[in-house]
Structure 1
Amino acid sequence: MEVIQVVGYKNSGKTTLSTKLIDFLTAKGIRVGSLKHHGHGGQPIGIESTDSEKHRRAGSVIAGVEGGGVLQLSNRNEWDVEQVVDLYRYFGVECLVVEGYKSYSYKKIVLIRHTDDLHVLDQVDNIIAVVSTIPLSGSGFSFPIYNREKVDELMEWIYLEWVSLAREEC
């Protein structure tokens, strides 16, 4: 399974790019999964008053609720990203698009909106591409840089360079 992270600061376009990538790869016949980091601290809104959360607080190691095609799981401890990735692998996902989790070492697409955002390039590893609204050409980077208006080219490159190759290896 190929894991591709989309990282950047708040309102940099992570969800927009992730959605486009998921749509593009799905149209290519790839089984795509997605994982979004709730980077606002604490639990996502609404989970605290559910029955499954009451089960978790009572001592259940993992608690879940399913209905209408939605499976919501909560763990007694913080989820380790590797555990979550393994869950996606279990469900036969070929490519997992992860939004956020900057500190993990999966292949990353970094979004740059302003010059103030450039320092993120020094804070993360395993960058495979950058999508930027500001000119970065001639900067000597070892990864391709795409203008936000040309993300279709990025989608094709990701499919050809990373996802289809990983699919062939399986």
Structure 2
Amino acid sequence: MRLYGITGWKNSGKTTLMERLVDDITARGYSVSTVKHAHHSFDVDHPGKDSFRHRMAGARQVLLASRNRWALMHELRGEPEPALDELLHRLSPVDLVLIEGYKRDRHPKIEAHRNATGQPLIAPDDDTIRAVASDSAPKDLAVPVLDLNDTRAIAAFILREVGLHKEEGGAS
């Protein structure tokens, strides 16, 4: 599977950029899956729901299914957090997997950067960052700087990087 990451500090626009990229890339006819790393405890289930009650009772896995979707929740119950590679093996094949977070992993990435966060750029010290998408114009970087708001250009950059770029109006 082809992988590409979006990384950056909190409030840098990663999630918004991911959402726009999925929309743009799928509109071009490619299948996309996403992986999002959360640094905190999260819950996709709600108290009182049957699946929540199953998990609270001690189930290691709960598979919830309907005619529209299915979801598998896996409780680690003290086990270590799985590595990104292990999680990727659980995904169905697609053209591209976009990964939000996982900044220490070695897949290629674009750094989302907003000047207002006051955070330094990650790119100068991370050779996995292939471009910076920013709302300002950072200088003296060894990688291209893209406009954070130009989703089409960022998507085209990623698709070229992973070898999926189609010429406008033509086949790949």
Given the two structures, how large is their TM-score scaled by the length of structure 2?
0.77
Identify which range, 105-114 or 119-128, moves more after superposition: 119-128
Alignment of 1:13-28 (within 5 A): 13-28=13-28
Using a 3 Å threshold, how does the CA distance of structure 1 residues 152 and 125 change in structure 2: closer, same or farther?
same
CA distance in 2, matches of 1:73, 1:27: 27
Read off the aligned partner of 1:92 and give its amino acid letter: P
- Stretches of 4+ moved more than 3 A in 1? 45-61, 122-125
Read off the aligned partner of 1:83 and give its amino acid letter: E
Is the counterpart of residue 83 in structure 1 residue 80 in structure 2? no
Read off the aligned partner of 1:7 and give its amino acid letter: T
Given the two structures, how large is their TM-score scaled by the length of structure 1?
0.77
CA distance in 2, matches of 1:47, 1:16: 25
Alignment of 1:1-80 (within 5 A): 1-39=1-39, 41-44=40-43, 46-47=45-46, 50-56=49-55, 58-77=57-76, 78-80=81-83
Corresponding residue for residue 129 of structure 1: 131
Would you tell me which structure has more helix in proportion to its own residues? 1
The Cα shift of 1:124 comes to: 4.5
**Alignment partner of 1:118: what SS?**
coil
The Cα shift of 1:54 comes to: 4.1
The Cα shift of 1:65 comes to: 1.0
The Cα shift of 1:57 comes to: 5.0
CA RMSD of the aligned region, Å? 2.6
8 Å Cα contact 2:3-2:162 kept in structure 1: no
Read off the aligned partner of 1:100 and give its amino acid letter: G
8 Å Cα contact 2:108-2:130 kept in structure 1: yes
Q: Deviations over 1:11-45 (max 9, x none)?
A: 21112211221122212221111122233x11225
CA distance in 2, matches of 1:153, 1:95: 17
Is the counterpart of residue 97 in structure 1 residue 98 in structure 2? yes
Could you tell me which runs of 5 or more consecutive residues in structure 1 were left unpaired when the two chains were aligned: 166-170
CA distance in 2, matches of 1:47, 1:38: 18
Identify which range, 70-79 or 101-110, moves more after superposition: 70-79
**Equivalent in 115, 118, 126 of residue 116 of structure 1:** 118
Read off the aligned partner of 2:138 and give its amino acid letter: L
CA distance in 1, matches of 2:68, 2:85: 23
8 Å Cα contact 1:128-1:144 kept in structure 2: yes
Could you tell me which runs of 5 or more consecutive residues in structure 2 were left unpaired when the two chains were aligned: 166-172
Identity %: 27
Alignment of 1:143-162 (within 5 A): 143-162=143-162
Using a 3 Å threshold, how does the CA distance of structure 1 residues 48 and 94 change in structure 2: closer, same or farther?
farther
Identify which range, 27-36 or 47-56, moves more after superposition: 47-56
